[in-house]
Amino acid sequence: MKAQSARKPHRIVFANEKGGTGKSTTAVHIAVALAYGGARVAAIDLDPRQRTTDRYLENRAETAKRRGITLPTATSAVLDSSDPAELEALVESHAGDADFVLFDTPGRDDPLARHAATQADTLVTPLNDSFVDFDLIGQVDAETFKVRRLSFYAELIWEARLKRSKATIEEQRREMDWVVVRNRTGHTEARNMARIEKALTELSKRVGFRVTAGLSERVIYRELFPSGLTLLDKGHLGDLGTSHLVARQELRQLLKGLNLPVIPNVARQLEPA
């Protein structure tokens, strides 16, 4: 991958104020996929209480040291602050020479998370396939399931995108790409899934986000956390069962759906052995 030194790092923000949607798991796997593709990747964890992404990458470094192996990874930092200026200073010091900087935001309404979201080049919002999670971005009619209004969060991102579109070339700003990722679709009853899909399609036309398939609820992701390994670390995972291979296919489709700047060699990492 060619370094993006002439431009600012591509910012990928994983944000959902509800939590429990696979946000950190998705963030780590995307970070490692980018690293496998030859990119310089920095991660900033904005949840100092949970710091799941930071802990995952910390576990990964410990596993690499203990086994005496090299694992492509991202550098990691945690910010305990509510000041956007401090976040921007950390980006400059921690990720100034990175190709990509990933932000894992807390699963709650947070001023710093809002700032990070409005500054994203790619905003990733994982949702479990339920109207409980859909409520983050829009409210639906109880009888018809048609979208009645945008949520506060959707309006925030809409306004940020409008403001962003006015940025000049000299400011080196990109158009924000907002991607809603549907996780746990395999656990959703068919009629409910169809209703959610229809509501997402309707809302996406109004707000301008894209929708892509995400990760199913699989035990493998919870099992990998203590070691910091990911589905891409094929040579270090032992024998993979069928469910693991399906999960890897899901990850491949997710990477494709995010449509990030060129990631050479990543697809090869996701192929079955």
pLDDT value for 179: 95
Pairing mode of beta strands 75-78, 10-14: unpaired
pLDDT value for 1: 43
Pairing mode of beta strands 147-150, 138-140: antiparallel
pLDDT value for 99: 93
Would you say residue 1 lies in a domain? Answer: no
CATH number at residue 87: 3.40.50.300
Cβ–Cβ under 8 Å, residues 51 and 103:
no
When computed from its CA atoms, the radius of gyration of the chain, rounded to whole angstroms, is: 18
Would you say residue 243 lies in a domain? Answer: yes
Q: Global pTM?
A: 0.88
Would you say residue 3 lies in a domain? Answer: no
Would you say residue 157 lies in a domain? Answer: yes
Would you say residue 166 lies in a domain? Answer: yes
Would you say residue 80 lies in a domain? Answer: yes
Cβ–Cβ under 8 Å, residues 75 and 43:
yes
pLDDT value for 134: 87
Would you say residue 153 lies in a domain? Answer: yes
Cβ–Cβ under 8 Å, residues 114 and 82:
no
**Total structural domains in the chain?**
1
pLDDT value for 263: 63
Q: State how far the alpha carbon of 215 is from the alpha carbons of 96, 100, 147, 184, 236, in Å.
A: 30, 22, 25, 6, 21
Would you say residue 90 lies in a domain? Answer: yes
Question: Token pair 């945690």 is at which residue?
Answer: 78
pLDDT along the chain (273 residues), means of 10: 59 86 90 92 95 96 96 95 93 91 90 90 90 86 85 86 67 80 70 85 89 82 90 79 77 90 63 52
- Domain of 160, in residue numbers: 10-269
Helix axis angle, 23-36 relative to 52-67, nearest 10°?
A: 50
